[in-house]
């Protein structure tokens, strides 16, 4: 039996050259039998076979911390890993340096000191002690709003990972959810489109999208919670 992400267009005409659908068309999709989509396979949006190693971001200087941050996010997304801020350093109450480490750095915590045989619930962890890490530094610590640069530690080990590439990382998917994407999803939710059908339409419009059907379900749930929240009396006027 096909998964919910494997859909067929045999009876519902999704135009492959069309990016925008009218509300009426979206409603017709939502009212259609989801089984009609059972054989349509969504291709992986990144060719993992071409990734031989996880390259570190190149040494470079950027006009601002925001520019550096956006470049690193784009780079690591393509290379198949994530970098997260581990430590920050301040000067005159302003952050002038940050240490970024691989999202798989550190070790999993077994606070109850249980052996694998004693565990009732099997768990998996992302933390495998990856040594990869780097510094991002304000070029002038008196002016952290100015240019920033990438710097590596003296040991070359800090530029290498101890694992293979991974795509669709939760952090990357979260950064994808800008206002435009959320507005698109809201539109499909309002039209009654299922999460699996929504992913098909979104990936036609955004070919490199990393979102999953489960992400859409979670977003839909948050939309519903917001809609059910009691409004301030002044907002109802």
8 is a domain residue: no
More confident residue, 50 or 221: 221
69 and 142 part of one domain: yes
Which of 26-30, 98-102, 159-163 is the least confident region?
Answer: 26-30
| pLDDT tens for each residue of 76-96 | 888 888 898 999 999 999 999
pTM over 0.85: no
User: Is 234 or 9 the better-scoring residue by pLDDT?
Assistant: 234
pLDDT at position 235: 52
Between CA 54 and CA 168 the distance in angstroms is 15
Q: Is residue 159 part of a domain?
A: yes
143 and 102 in one domain? Answer: yes
Alpha carbon distance 106, 127 (integer Å)? 5
**Average pLDDT rounded to a whole number, residues 144-153:** 93
Is 34 part of a structural domain of the chain?
Answer: no
Question: pLDDT tens digits for 51-63?
Answer: 446 888 888 899 9
pLDDT for the residue 116: 54
Q: What rounded mean pLDDT belongs to the chain?
A: 70
Band of pLDDT at residue 133, cut at 50, 70 and 90: very high
67 confidence band (pLDDT: 50, 70, 90)? very high
Domain count, the chain: 2
Say if residue 102 is in the same domain as residue 195: no
Q: Which residues contact 62 (CB under 8 A, 6 or more apart)?
A: 68, 71, 147, 148, 149
CA dist., res. 37 & res. 45, Å (int): 19
Choice among 30-39, 71-80, 217-226 with the minimum mean pLDDT: 30-39
**Looking at the domain assignment, is residue 24 inside a domain?**
no
pLDDT tens string 103-131: 888 776 665 666 555 555 544 457 788 88
Q: Where residue 10 falls among pLDDT bands split at 50, 70, 90?
A: very low
154 and 181 co-located in one domain:
no
> Which DSSP state fits 133?
E
Is position 133 within any domain?
Answer: yes
Rounded mean pLDDT, 25-46 = 37
3-state DSSP of 37-103? HCCCECCCCCCHHHCCCCCCCCCCEECCHHHHHHHHHHHHHHHCCCEEEEEEEEECCEEEEEEEEEC
Which pair of structure tokens corresponds to residue 104? Answer: 């798989």
Do residues 157 and 64 both lie within one domain?
yes
| pLDDT over threshold 80, residue 177 | no
Alpha carbon of 164 to those of 11, 53, 139: distances in Å?
Answer: 40, 7, 32
Percentage of the chain exceeding pLDDT 90: 19
pLDDT at 170: 67
Residues near 39 by beta carbon (within 8 Å), at least 6 away in sequence: 2, 6, 7, 8, 10
Q: Which two tokens stand for residue 23?
A: 């509300």
Are 58 and 150 contacting, i.e. CB atoms less than 8 angstroms apart? yes
Residue 30 has what pLDDT? Answer: 42
DSSP string, 158-170: GG--SS----S-H
- For 195, other C-beta atoms within 10 Å of its C-beta total 21
**Whether residue 59 sits in one domain with residue 159:** yes
Could you tell me if 100 and 150 lie in one domain?
Answer: yes
Distance between CA atoms of residues 167 and 48, nearest Å: 8
- Answer yes or no: do 144 and 191 share one domain: no
Residue 63 sits in which domain range?
55-107+125-163
Confidence check: pLDDT of 19 > 60: no
């Amino acid at each position: 039996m096909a998964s919910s992400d494997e859909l067929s267009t045999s009876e519902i005409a999704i135009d492959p050259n069309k990016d925008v659908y009218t509300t009426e068309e979206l409603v017709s999709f939502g009212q259609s039998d989801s089984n009609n989509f059972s054989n349509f396979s969504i291709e992986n949006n990144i060719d993992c076979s071409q990734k031989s190693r996880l390259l570190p971001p190149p040494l470079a200087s950027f006009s601002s911390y925001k520019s550096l941050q956006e470049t690193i996010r784009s780079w690591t997304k393509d290379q198949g890993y994530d970098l997260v801020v581990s430590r920050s350093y301040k000067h005159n109450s302003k952050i002038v340096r940050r240490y970024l480490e691989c999202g798989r750095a550190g070790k999993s915590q077994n606070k109850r000191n249980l052996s694998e045989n004693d565990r009732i619930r099997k768990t998996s962890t992302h933390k495998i002690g990856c040594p990869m890490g780097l510094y991002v530094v304000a070029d002038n610590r008196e002016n952290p709003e100015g240019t920033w640069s990438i710097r590596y530690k003296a040991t070359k080990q800090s530029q290498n990972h101890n694992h293979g590439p991974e795509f669709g990382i939760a952090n990357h998917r979260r950064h994808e959810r800008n206002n435009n994407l959320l507005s698109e999803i809201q539109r499909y939710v309002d039209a009654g489109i299922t999460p699996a059908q929504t992913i098909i339409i979104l990936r036609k419009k955004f070919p490199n999208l990393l979102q999953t059907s489960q992400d859409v379900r979670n977003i839909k749930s948050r939309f519903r919670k917001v809609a059910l929240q009691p409004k301030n009396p002044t907002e109802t006027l």
